[in-house]
Structure 1
Amino acid sequence: MTDRPDPADIAHRIDQRRRQLGLSEGMLAHRAAMSPAYLRQLLCSGPEFDPPGFVRVTAVLGMTWPELLSGRRPDAPPGQTDAEPRAGLRRLTEPQCWELLGTRGIGRIGLPGSSSPLVLPVNYVVDARTIAYRTAPGGAAAPDEGTPVSFEVDHIDEHRRQGWSVLVLGEAHHVDTPEEERHLSALPGAAPWAGGPRPLWVRVRPAGVTGRRVQAG
């Protein structure tokens, strides 16, 4: 049974490579389509927390997955770290981002926390260039009105080292009219994971939408 990689070692390799390339933490986070706070959460938690997020980080840094985990590919000769094709990132346009968001149904809502962001999976619908999801009032995924949030959706094939990621930054607003609730409930994929008899609909109104496509180089 192999030991799990130490998140501190991985964070150190990422930091070293970032400095080599002359990238600030903010620049790395932006190019990997995530917020700086979310990047710090990744580095503290390790790859098991969000493997697609780490795939995007390695693509930005020009690293391979084995390089990230152990410093070099296990079957490569000593000192050789580029024995497999590297991945590259291509920026997506905003229309492409919305098109991809509409193909999925599960994403991650990022909420402010006391010491680090709280990231929770939710099922969602796209409605008029907004993201909406249903949850239990007062629950962990129910932010206060006007809370700044992030919403991320990924589709990554780690074996082929390709896929895409879309990040939405904006504010959360409560849906409080019966007409809006009926409209959202009628959309395909709107069946909630949680919510109870009177669920809360949360609508994320974007301030910015960015996306990246990961492709093996």
Structure 2
Amino acid sequence: MDNETAGTRLPDIVDIPRNIRRRREQLGMTRAQVCARAVLPPKWLVELEAGDAPLTRAALGGLAAALKTDINALMSGAFDAPEVAAPDIRSLIAMNEAECYARLATHEVGRLAGGMDHTPWVLPVNYAVDGKEIVFTTGPDSPLAHVRGTTAFEVDDVDRYDRLGWSVLVIGVVEPVTDPVGIARLAQAGAGAWPGRRGELWLRIHPGRVTGRRLCSGSTRR
């Protein structure tokens, strides 16, 4: 009868169990962790590292994957150095008001929030910075048309690949802009809606508090 394990059993090499144990310890992994990754019984790994358990190429392949290496390395003992996670040297830095306004000037869309006493809401608005004020427009039938009083306005920018970014929060009072000269000046400066609306209403936020933070890498802290 043919031997069903022919070609699957590894040579009886004493160094393989020793190499498996050395690699596991190099990675700082327990036997339970290795076996969970390789889907193997922990008791078997205990016996294998003691040189008392049989080892097939399929099982060795599972161990190699669990130990972040390959079969040849487990057989020879020539391991690459384990990957070491780079230290997180990012810094969260508070921005002063001048930097907050400089950041606000680089964007055109933010989020306006209000209604905290009743039903909370957050709506996107395109905006412009006019001196110290935030100005935006809305249609007469928009939920924003009747917004008055204290609101929060937020703008942020995130680099999700490098996990860096910044955020600016403006707490202030929303009031309508009714001066025709002021409206004409703002419209000429291109501060209107995307796209322009018929009969659009102009509003401004008088800031009471402007705060911001930025998350930056250690090499660009300034």
Taking structure 2 as the reference length, what is the TM-score of the superposition? Answer: 0.55
Identity rate of aligned residues, in percent?
38
Q: 149, 152, 162: which one pairs with 2:151?
A: 149
Report the AA paired with residue 95 of structure 2. Answer: L
Q: Where do residues 118-129 of structure 1 align in structure 2 (5 Å cutoff)?
A: 118-129=121-132
Cα-to-partner distance string for 1:53-76 (whole Å, 9 max, x where unaligned): xxxxxxxxxxxxxxxxxxxxxxxx
Correspondence 1:88 to 2:91: yes
What residue in structure 2 maps to residue 36 of structure 1?
none
Separation of aligned partners in 1, 2:196 and 2:188: 16
Shift of 1:194: 6.0
Which residue in the other structure is 1:159 paired with?
Answer: 161
The 5 A counterparts of 1:1-217 are 85=88, 87-112=90-115, 115-145=118-148, 147-188=149-190, 190-193=191-194, 196-216=197-217
Shift of 1:138: 4.0
1:154 partner amino acid = D
Q: Deviations over 1:67-86 (max 9, x none)?
A: xxxxxxxxxxxxxxxx5626
Offset at 1:182?
0.5
CA distance in structure 2 between the aligned counterparts of 1:113 and 1:137, rounded to whole angstroms: 23
> What is the alpha-carbon root mean square deviation over aligned residues?
2.4
| Residues 18-68 of structure 1, C-alpha deviations (whole Å, 9 max, x = no match) | xxxxxxxxxxxxxxxxxxxxxxxxxxxxxxxxxxxxxxxxxxxxxxxxxxx
Structure 1 segments, 4+ long, off by >4 Å, are 113-116
* Contact map agreement 2:136 2:192 (CA 8 A) in 1: no
One-letter identity of the residue aligned with 2:211: T
Deviations 1:92-113 (A, max 9, x none): 0001101111111111111215
* Structure 1 unmatched ranges of 5 or more: 1-82
5+ residue gaps, structure 2, are: 1-84
**2:181 alignment partner AA:** E
> 1:111–1:143: 8 Å Cα contact kept in structure 2?
no
TM-score normalised to structure 1 length: 0.56
For 1:86 and 1:140, locate their aligned partners in 2 and report how far apart those are by CA, in whole Å: 43
Offset from partner CA, 1:129-174 (integer Å, 9 cap, x none): 00000101241223433x2111101011011011111000000000
Q: Which amino acid aligns with 1:121?
A: P
Q: Shift of the alpha carbon at 1:115? A: 4.9
Which has the greater radius of gyration? 2
In the alignment, residue 156 of structure 1 is paired with which amino acid? V
Moved more, 100-109 or 115-124: 115-124
